[in-house]
Structure 1
Amino acid sequence: MKYLLLLTAAITFFSCQKGDGDSTVDPVPETMYFPSITDNTWQTKPVSGLGWNESAIQPLKDFLVQKNTRSFIILVNGRIVMEEYFNGHTPTTTWQWNSAGKTLAATTTGIAQQEGLLSINNSVSQYLGTGWTKEPLAKENLITSRHLLTMTSGIKDSSDLVITANLTYMADAGTRWSYHNVFQKLMDVVAAASGQSFETYFNAKLKNRIGMDGFWNNGVIYKIYNSNTRSMARFGLLALNKGKWNNEQIINETYFNESVSTSQNINPGYGYLWWLNGKTTFMVPSGQTVFPGMLVPNAPADMFAAMGASDQRIYVVPSKNMVVIRMGDASDPANPSFAVSGFDNSLWQKIKAVTN
């Protein structure tokens, strides 16, 4: 018995040892891991420990290079399983999220609501004053922050430049789904409700609490978030855990669950600025066509995603405890997408070959 106890103690001791360097290997993949918010050390998990098809990894990497990818990460239970950089990109390189950053605005809006600063069901005019659009006052007053979150403001979408002169009436709020940059008015709502700039509030309530780097800059059309790839992965990990980071609930779970559920009855594939897989129909930007089937047929049905122009991606797959990040140039420069593209399905075909 004494020898058995000694052997058990020895196994326990050595199994708890960590490797040296930037990343460490954790032998207990069943537990969820969160990296430190004070440095960029991150635990890893070898592909061999997951039973994945290792022979399919090189074809995946070749595809990523072919499709102008600059960085790619797969997390499982929070640990890095793959982390690749191409074309001069490095772990510290800053890159734009494009419309994938809409999900940051949605999350920050939810935090402001849970702090009692605003309600997404209130008229936007309650926070910005009347005249923030060129709509008739009665129509403008119909628009709530929830309509901005769900792309159902009814504002005419002929111009993506969000200036008052362009915010004209097309339909009553809640009756038409249309992908539109007017979502950025949520940033103005949060700023007005909190009495500080959106970025100051975002930094204090979200960015700093999960250890992200990055900044918002004024793009040609709207504010765009920029960060390194691991910061994008941190936000994906927060989403995988329904707004919880380690032991702290950053964003209310009820609100987060609303964010990644069908938010209106026009486009089932859309939540609060998140794209949703696994629905019976979906719509895409720049049109009113309703397409049958799933958004990304090769991806798991429970996958939800932040999608930005030139194929900036955060894919979150709860059933696999997985987060996938892709940053880079447009996969098809001749036909760059605003959000959803055929690239998603092709990429997931390659990922499935590795993970199944």
Structure 2
Amino acid sequence: MKTKGYLLLFTLFGLFACATSDEVVEEDNNDVASIYFPPIASNTWETTSISEIGWNENKLQELLQFLEEKNTKGFIMLYNGRIVVEEYMNDHTATSSWYWASAGKTLTATLTGIAADEGLLDINNKVSDYLGIGWTSATTEKENLITNKHLLSMNSGLDDSLGDNVAPENLQYIADAGQRWAYHNVYVKLQDVVAQASNQTWASYFNQKLKDRIGMSGSWLPLADLNVYWSNTRSMARFGLLISANGKWNDTEIVSQNFLQEATNTSQNINKAYGYLWWLNGKTSFHLPSTQLEFTGSLIPNAPNDMFAALGKNDQKIYVVPSKKLVVIRMGEAADDSNFALSNFDNELWEKINEVTN
């Protein structure tokens, strides 16, 4: 009886120990899974290995070789904020600066959201409330139809065929606001709206409310008729991490989750794959720059349906995938031919990423 009693106690103790051990592992996994934010005033950034998170390490070299052949300069993959892959190639380094091109449109969207959160502006108000009458060549009646939200959504109704210059003579009426989607540089007028509403320069408000608060480097530089952001690759990754964390940096709200939810969902009824200057995957149809054609299917078929992206000329990329806790950054020259936003490279790249992450 004693022997049986000891055996029973030993068995029960073993089961309890196993359960306790499982609980500890689960807690450790939760700790690993919790989102990490790199320090603001330091270049330190925690890493995690491919093997730790169960990715396929055997496919990594194939991905990196593909990236190098496709003129990539900087490439980063974050999992829950920690760096899993960070590579520089084609004469680029971790400290080199590179342009965001139109991927930087999402910086403008975010600053607009911050100003709205602070009550400095309302995205549903007309642009002329902030810039005055005559900021376009449209009649006052038609100009007053254009709201800040129309600029965020790319459906201002202004003619997109007249180049990037946004002087009034180049901003001509072609359709009522909300009736036509067109990829157009007029969105940049939001920077003037934010500057006017905040009573600061655009760069000053940007630095104070976003750049300095998440530890980004870089600056806005004029390029022809464009205002382009330049930074190192990690700064682009910091911004992607902020967005993936629903607008928070650690426990500090930088931009509200409510605004980001609007920004990363369909913003109008013409181009389902477009939010507030963010491109959206997994929709039933999409439009592309420089055309009024509608294409059936998902923007990037190989990418997860919940992925949304900042896409810039010559394949500057920020991919955010909530379901995979993943942020992917790509900077460099055009992978193939020069392009404005989306290219075949996106789908090819995601085929390679999937082989690693799946």
Aligned counterparts, 1:50-61, within 5 A: 50-61=53-64
Alignment match of 1:86 (pick from 85, 89, 96): 89
Report the residue type matching 2:287 in the other structure: M
Higher mean displacement: 157-166 or 312-321: 157-166
Report sequence identity in percent.
Answer: 59
1:95 is aligned to 98
1:174 is aligned to 178
Report the residue type matching 2:333 in the other structure: D
Alignment match of 2:279 (pick from 275, 282, 285): 275
TM-score (norm 2): 0.91
Aligned counterparts, 1:21-32, within 5 A: 28-32=31-35
Report the residue type matching 1:314 in the other structure: I
Aligned residues: 336
Three-state SS of the structure 1 residue aligned to 2:51 is helix
Query: How far apart are 1:221 and its partner, in Å?
Result: 2.4
Report the residue type matching 1:89 in the other structure: H
Three-state SS of the structure 1 residue aligned to 2:350 is helix
Three-state SS of the structure 1 residue aligned to 2:274 is coil
CA contact (8 A) 1:29 1:45 kept: no
1:249 is aligned to 253
Alignment match of 2:51 (pick from 48, 67, 72): 48
1:20 is aligned to none
Higher mean displacement: 318-327 or 50-59: 50-59
2:301 is aligned to 297
Report the residue type matching 1:142 in the other structure: L
Alignment match of 1:207 (pick from 204, 207, 211): 211
Please give the alpha-carbon distance, in whole angstroms, between the structure 1 residues aligned to 2:224 and 2:315. Answer: 18
Report the residue type matching 1:79 in the other structure: R
Higher mean displacement: 28-37 or 98-107: 28-37
Please give the alpha-carbon distance, in whole angstroms, between the structure 2 residues aligned to 1:252 and 1:62. Answer: 39
Please give the alpha-carbon distance, in whole angstroms, between the structure 1 residues aligned to 2:81 and 2:73. Answer: 21
Please give the alpha-carbon distance, in whole angstroms, between the structure 2 residues aligned to 1:354 and 1:265. Answer: 35
TM-score (norm 1): 0.92
Q: Cα deviation per residue 1:190-243 (whole Å; 9 max; x = unaligned)?
A: 001111101100100011111101100111121000111000000000110111
2:353 is aligned to 351
Report the residue type matching 1:252 in the other structure: S
Please give the alpha-carbon distance, in whole angstroms, between the structure 2 residues aligned to 1:339 and 1:218. Answer: 20
Please give the alpha-carbon distance, in whole angstroms, between the structure 2 residues aligned to 1:102 and 1:318. Answer: 20
After TM superposition, the runs of 4+ consecutive aligned structure 1 residues lying more than 4 A away are none
Q: Cα deviation per residue 1:267-311 (whole Å; 9 max; x = unaligned)?
A: 000000000000000011010111111000000000000000010
1:77 aligns with 2:114: no
Please give the alpha-carbon distance, in whole angstroms, between the structure 2 residues aligned to 1:132 and 1:187. Answer: 13
2:151 is aligned to 148
1:339 is aligned to 341
Report the residue type matching 1:70 in the other structure: K
Higher mean displacement: 47-56 or 65-74: 47-56
Three-state SS of the structure 2 residue aligned to 1:50 is coil
CA contact (8 A) 1:305 1:314 kept: yes
Query: How far apart are 1:27 and its partner, in Å?
Result: 9.8
CA contact (8 A) 1:282 1:295 kept: yes
Report the residue type matching 2:145 in the other structure: L
CA contact (8 A) 1:162 1:222 kept: no
Instruction: Provide the alpha-carbon RMSD of the alignment.
Output: 1.8
* Structure 1, unpaired ranges of 5+: 17-25
* Structure 2, unpaired ranges of 5+: 1-12
Three-state SS of the structure 1 residue aligned to 2:353 is helix
Query: How far apart are 1:161 and its partner, in Å?
Result: 2.1
Report the residue type matching 2:62 in the other structure: P
